[in-house]
Structure 1
């Protein structure tokens, strides 16, 4: 006779892992892999268990982020997923860092949309002196006028550059690991995984918070996703954006990302179990891959980008507000833990 688990037994297994995590005992890599390999019919039980962890640390709050592409295209790196890379033929805007008025207009829009954090992003290997000076000038003005937290995403940073960002008022720096160390050479050859880790260490040592996550759907194995989640945990990253590959035509990864909504939900749940106290953000590609199941992601994640991404459109802000309200959740203006 087949030994088929009942719904109660399935739920009990994930609840036991949640109890373990809530008691301060980390989940194992083996159990994290089990989450990614769990069947679709387990997803609701998995999310219910993950919600217990999310609720303890974040209640029913959702923090909104606003993304601003301050410099677009013109990047010398060959990141295979990126429409702004030197090897991409995707028709994206190409411009140097925007002027003050444009950056301030975007900050106003971020404030009006209920975002707490304004993400200032440039496409580059790392910032040049002109770009550093522009950021140092605009950040204090944005913070003074709109009270927004600032997350800067400027590419690879030296320790001296990280110190300058801290001094001008930047709260966080985003620099995604993107995938595992083992898989990294498959998605980029112009810099290494170690380069990215070093930038995060410079950010941490300068006294800023680290924002770092990744992208799933780039041909990686489940082991790669688990490895990335644990590397982020070991680095002590405070905020984790999880993207789902938008396989943009004109990039080497066009046609990739065979992800189901359940795949995305399993990944979000696994990241919550591995990083229980860290802000977890549903990021690029959610509209494409989660589709009508987007609300379920917020049972384990606790933040969203509101509006558009760097070179692709996002869901209309009102749809996000309605989704959050329908869940009975509240938009928070408190910086993530």
Structure 2
């Protein structure tokens, strides 16, 4: 196995894709986990040193989505007891973004549930971006990168978001094309690819990743990684399923820290010079091995997620420092049997009177 890991590392340092057989071997679990992490860490250090980029999510509207994505607590038919609210104001979003930037966040992700935005929704985001930039200027803060995630895009919408000052557009593929219809029936894998291509063509930085722990096979993981690589995103969020009661996947607790780290290692080999982001579900599935994940991912979400709570930001910043990493500055270029009660419904941040935990 050492020969395989050496070859994977050499290929990644040359920005070459692993073969399917090599990728499957990473996931197979026949090799020592620490050897896999060490090989991926060599690639991570070559392209990103010891920097960790901090990102945060602002859920602009929560719940009542007409789509039926099985993993989502906001889906059609969900009985998960999440926060439900309509659009927060641009001023509320700007205040939340400002606190996050003060905590070290470099990218703010504006997310709204729904199939895709209407004209009024795009105007709301335009106003929100303006409010965030105005608040930064008034308070002497560096301007955060703004990433937008609104679902499927129509003609001309990506261009409007870019002109408004958005830096990136996020739209995950989530699972392999072959099994996509098992996870969602209200739109297709091709719909998601189309939106990501629209975003990239408009000049927005494409962000697209996956959710693991939904019953996918090793082959599905490799298929998805290779499909994402063909789309050439600048950032790849790696999510691990948060099994909400009241959703079709609420009883899925199949992930282990070992499995999560092998997936992250595979994505580092497939995306050597791309921002690999440690995203939702890391706390409940990686648990005490989260510091090891920093040797593979160069980016992490800080604070709460869309409808579930994350760890306090101070704890994550301490973890980053304790593991020997540094938080990426605003002026630094980024690129060249779990227990059900571990899922904490978000009750703070956007849509509430309580501040976010960044």
Q: TM-score range by the shorter chain?
A: over 0.9
Choose from 1, 5, 13 the match for 2:4. 13
CA contact (8 A) 1:21 1:53 kept: yes
* 1:64-119 CA distance string (max 9 Å, x none): 00111011002100000000011211111111111122111111121121100000
Counterpart CA distance in 1 for 2:268 and 2:15 is 13
Single out whichever of 91-100 and 267-276 deviates more from structure 2: 91-100
Deviation at 1:24, TM superposition (A): 3.6
* 2:211 aligned residue: 215
Asked if 1:323 corresponds to 2:319, the answer is: yes
Q: TM-score, normalised to structure 1's length?
A: 0.95
Deviation at 1:332, TM superposition (A): 0.4
- Superposed, which structure 2 residues align to 1:212-251 within 5 Å? 212-251=208-247
* 1:7 aligned residue: none
CA contact (8 A) 2:94 2:135 kept: no
Deviation at 1:207, TM superposition (A): 0.5
Asked if 1:93 corresponds to 2:91, the answer is: no
CA contact (8 A) 1:308 1:315 kept: yes
Task: Identify if the C-alpha distance between structure 1 residues 197 and 86 changes in structure 2 by more than 3 Å, giving closer, same or farther.
Answer: same
* 1:56 aligned residue: 46
* 1:32-80 CA distance string (max 9 Å, x none): 11101123x5110011111111111101100000111011002100000
Q: Secondary structure at the match of 2:252?
A: coil
Aligned residues: 327
Counterpart CA distance in 2 for 1:311 and 1:301 is 23
Counterpart CA distance in 2 for 1:250 and 1:292 is 27
CA contact (8 A) 2:89 2:128 kept: no
* 2:26 aligned residue: 35
* 1:137 aligned residue: 127
- Runs of 4+ in structure 1 deviating by more than 6 angstroms, as ranges, are none
Q: Secondary structure at the match of 1:281?
A: strand
Deviation at 1:335, TM superposition (A): 4.9
Q: Secondary structure at the match of 1:251?
A: coil
CA contact (8 A) 1:149 1:335 kept: no
CA contact (8 A) 1:247 1:255 kept: yes
Q: TM-score, normalised to structure 2's length?
A: 0.89
Counterpart CA distance in 1 for 2:116 and 2:36 is 39
* 1:254-305 CA distance string (max 9 Å, x none): 1113111000000000000011111001111100000000000111110110
* 1:121 aligned residue: 111
Counterpart CA distance in 1 for 2:6 and 2:40 is 8
Counterpart CA distance in 1 for 2:266 and 2:191 is 26
Q: Secondary structure at the match of 2:156?
A: helix
- Superposed, which structure 2 residues align to 1:152-191 within 5 Å? 152-191=148-187
Q: Secondary structure at the match of 2:162?
A: helix
Deviation at 1:145, TM superposition (A): 3.4
CA contact (8 A) 1:113 1:306 kept: no
Instruction: Give the RMSD, CA atoms, in angstroms.
Output: 1.2
* 2:17 aligned residue: 26
Asked if 1:254 corresponds to 2:250, the answer is: yes
Q: Secondary structure at the match of 1:76?
A: coil
* 1:110 aligned residue: 100
Single out whichever of 271-280 and 88-97 deviates more from structure 2: 88-97
Asked if 1:77 corresponds to 2:67, the answer is: yes
Single out whichever of 326-335 and 81-90 deviates more from structure 2: 326-335
Deviation at 1:23, TM superposition (A): 2.7
Counterpart CA distance in 2 for 1:120 and 1:245 is 20
Q: Secondary structure at the match of 2:57?
A: strand
CA contact (8 A) 2:302 2:313 kept: yes
Q: What are structure 1's unaligned runs of at least 5 residues? A: 1-9
Counterpart CA distance in 2 for 1:181 and 1:24 is 24
